[in-house]
Amino acid sequence: MNIEEFIKKSPKAELHLHIEGTLEPELMFSLAKRNNIKIPFKNIDDVKKAYNFNNLDSFLKIYYEGAKVLIKEQDFFDLTWAYILKCKEDNIVHTEIFFDPQTHTDRGVDFDKVINGIFRALKKAEKEFGLSFKIIMCFLRHLSEDECFKILDKALAHKDKIYGVGLDSSEKGNPPKKFEKLFKKALENEFITVAHAGEEGPPEYIWEALNLLNVHRIDHGVQCLKDEKLVEILTKSQIPLTVCPLSNIKLKVFNTLENHNLKKMLEKKLMVMVNSDDPAYFGGYLNKNFIEIQKALNLSHEEVKTLLVNSFKSSFMKDAQKKEWISKII
């Protein structure tokens, strides 16, 4: 079996996936028509041209524009179901998806419609395909902490569906320390915590996420290599770093995949794994991320296996379930 076949056939866990970021142009147009929503694109080619981002903020502009077509509970179900079919295709057996409720509630969409549509699709996938999952609600860091407290209060009514909370959106100028009280309350309410840090922001943001937000996982974290002490702490603690290769190229974190630091992170024994982030916008789902980064960095079979195993080790699955899937990566 060659390395590409090994990637495709191996079971995988995906730990960094924004469900709104799986909105393919075709579904965007379909939902816009169904909900009678005007979008600033004449056709699918127009959308694809708009996907030429310079940085995180220019991506977020189109991301929020696309999300406007999501109105009803069925829309969130259809969005999630489309991603689930990609999971089936890419042999993803466990997924821990992010959703951004404020992207929708700020437009007047009811919180319950958002979470119920997503959850219903995932429960159907669990029953039909055996896909296991966790749902992580993200706070938009460009908004105030007070606004985020309001959304945390809404989440409490859905504690049976929402496993954890995270932090995403524009990183620069919005350090983790801005949300220290919010995350303290989330932890008091027994939510698992994660946070985007060290994607475009400095290593200091990773320190803050660890020390002030008490996160269990760092999303992205690629800037950690600029701080030797931080690398030492991350290696010793084995705090997971959910790396997203194609996203990093599309958002100009690295100029090319050949310049990506994933191999260096592996060499330093950091707990890293591969994810797709916002695959509809960044040019590929999980298998494509794996295949392209393997080719670009000439990753060995053993290095690919480590990345696959790390995805299960770093998940919020039960230990017995982790061991079972890891035993199937050969």
Strands, sheet with 217-220, edge to edge from the N-terminal-most edge strand: 12-18, 92-99, 132-140, 164-168, 192-197, 217-220, 241-243, 272-274
Q: How many residues does the chain have?
A: 330
Per the listing, tokens 């017995």 go with 320
User: Do the beta carbons of residue 231 and residue 203 sit within 8 Å?
Assistant: no
Nearest to 312 by CA among 91, 86, 19: 91
Interacting residues of 297 by C-beta distance below 8 A, sequence separation 6+: 257, 258, 260, 262, 263
Exposure of 57 by Cβ count < 10 A (0-12 exposed, 13-18 middle, 19+ buried)? middle
Which residue intervals of 25-109 are DSSP H helices? Answer: 25-34, 44-50, 56-67, 73-90, 101-105
Q: Count Cα neighbours of 167 within 13 Å in the Cβ-side half-sphere.
A: 38
- Tokens representing 300? 């060995």
324 is catalytic: no
Which of these is catalytic: 20, 96, 171, 199? 199
3-state SS assignment for residue 136: strand
Residue 88 tokens read as: 């089936």
The dihedral over CA atoms of 33, 82, 278, 225, expressed in degrees to the nearest 10, equals: 170
Report yes or no: 132 and 93 within 8 Å, Cβ to Cβ: yes
Q: Quick one: which of 5, 15, 8 has its CA closest to 310? A: 15
Task: Give the catalytic positions in this structure.
Answer: 199
